[in-house]
Structures are given as structure tokens and as C-alpha cells.
Amino acid sequence: MDPLTLLALANGAVAAIKKGCQLYKDIKSAAGDVKGVLDDLDKQFAKQHESKPATKEQRQQFEQKKKEVRANIEKDPNDVISVIGDQLGTFFDAMDKIEELFYEEEKKAKEVYTGDVSLSRRALQRVLIRSRLEQMEVELREQMIYHVPADLKDLWTRFQEMRGRIIEEQKVARVLKEKEDAIKAARRKKRLENIHFEVAIVIGVITIFTVMGLMFTWIHYDKKRRWPELEQRTYQDELEKERKLRKEKILDAIRYLDEQNYQKNKDLIIPQDEKQ
């Protein structure tokens, strides 16, 4: 919800609290004497219409009011206190949410603003909303202290003590959270820097090998274009080396076979007794 909607909720809660406090006061003052209260209303109505009789519509409105008064003063005071407590919760919920929205905006104050509403208008809106909230809180405090029975005064006092304690605890928790968020942000930034550095190294290595490959390819191509005879001579030299190697292998094989044949012929020619 936006701050203006939350402000409207807070304003409605204040009106409901005032109405509940008055109802609680009426119930306590009646002290179960429903008939006496209704008789007082009858006397007031009759006094208002002494000079001029009431119309049918006025009497119907009065009877409706008497029914509402009877229903209200017959309510359980504890139920009324519960309603007042719920509305107090609604008011401070809206107040805390507004402050949370402002807190988030203040954290983003160093970022570039790209919204449609001008910065001056946003600042003015924030000041007006906070002023109205402070005014409503003062109204609540006065209502709960000066215009209610003693037991509701005690409720407000205990509530304020507990709320003050929670606010202090939340301040400490918020400071700790901000420190944790700062540490996490620093670690995340460092991790991203490391990733960027590693990616840059990989890209650099790939680029170097790609350039070297292209360079050697271009050198080879340029060599073939400028000195094709070298490429042909190199090919012919390789062929000649292969021919010589084959010849040498063939000659070695022939020599080996000659030696084997010579040994066999020698064994056949020389008698066995001469060998001994």
C-alpha cells in the first residue's frame, strides 16, 4: 500500500478508537441502569419539543437512536476494550508501515530517481504525512489519558511502555541487519569481481590462441603465395627421403637373407666330422 492509503487507515482507526472510548465511558457511567439512561433520553427529547411537537420522522429517528443506545450500553465492556485494542493495532500497524516505506526510500536516496513525481513533492508529502501521524498520536494519547475511565488509562500506559521497549529493540536489530546487509553486499561485489576477472582471463587466453592460430595460418598462406617453389621442394624432399628409406630397408632385408642362405649352404658343404 502507498503512504496515503495507510494514512487513511490510520485516520479511520483513530475515529473508531474515539468512538469506542466514548462507548466504554457510557457503559461505565450507566452501570447497568438501562432504564435510567433511556428515561433521560426521553426527557431530553420532550424538552426539545415543548414548543413544537415532534414530527413522525423525528420520532422514528429518536426511537432508532434509543435502540442503538440500548444495544451499546448492554454491551460487555471487555468487548469494547478488545475493539479499542484492535483499532490501536490498526493505527500503529499503518504508522509502522509508513515509516518502513520512508525508511526504504531513504536507503535508496543515493540512487538516481526516475519517478514521475518531483523530489520536492515527495519530500513535502513525507513531511505532511509524518506531521499528520504525530498529530493523530497526540489525539490518541489525550483521548486515552484524559477522556476515559482509569482502567483504560492503565491500558494506554502499559501499551506505551511495551511499545517503547520494542522500538528500541527494533533499532538495535535494524543496525545489525544493516551491518549484515553491508557485509553481504561487499562479499557479493567481491565475488562478482573475481568472476569478471576469471572470465576476462579466459577470454584473453582464447583471444591470444585465436590470434596466434590466425597468424600462423596467414604466414603459411603467405609463404605458399610468395614462394610456391619452397612448398614444392619441401614436398619433393620428403618423397626422396621416403624413397631412400625404403631402399635402405630393402637392402637390409636382402643382406639378411643372403647371410641366412650363406650359413645354410656352408652347413651343407662342410662335412660333419670336420666341424667336430
Kindly state the cell numbers that stand for 152. 483504560
Residue 86 has a pLDDT of 86
What ranges make up the beta strands (E) of 146-201? none
Domain ranges (residues) in the chain: 3-194, 227-275
Q: What's the pLDDT tens digit per position in 8-35?
A: 888 898 888 888 887 777 776 665 555 5
Q: What's the pLDDT tens digit per position in 215-240?
A: 888 887 777 777 665 555 566 667 77
pLDDT at 270 over 80: no
pLDDT at 203 over 90: yes
Residue 19 has a pLDDT of 83
In eight-state DSSP terms, residue 51 is S
Burial level of 140, CB count in 10 A (0-12/13-18/19+)? buried
pLDDT band, residue 206 (cuts 50/70/90)? very high
Q: What's the pLDDT tens digit per position in 154-167?
A: 777 888 888 888 88
What integer is the mean pLDDT of 198-222? 88
pTM over 0.75: no
Nearest-5° Cα angle at 192, 186 to 196: 145
pLDDT band, residue 53 (cuts 50/70/90)? confident
Residue 201 has a pLDDT of 92
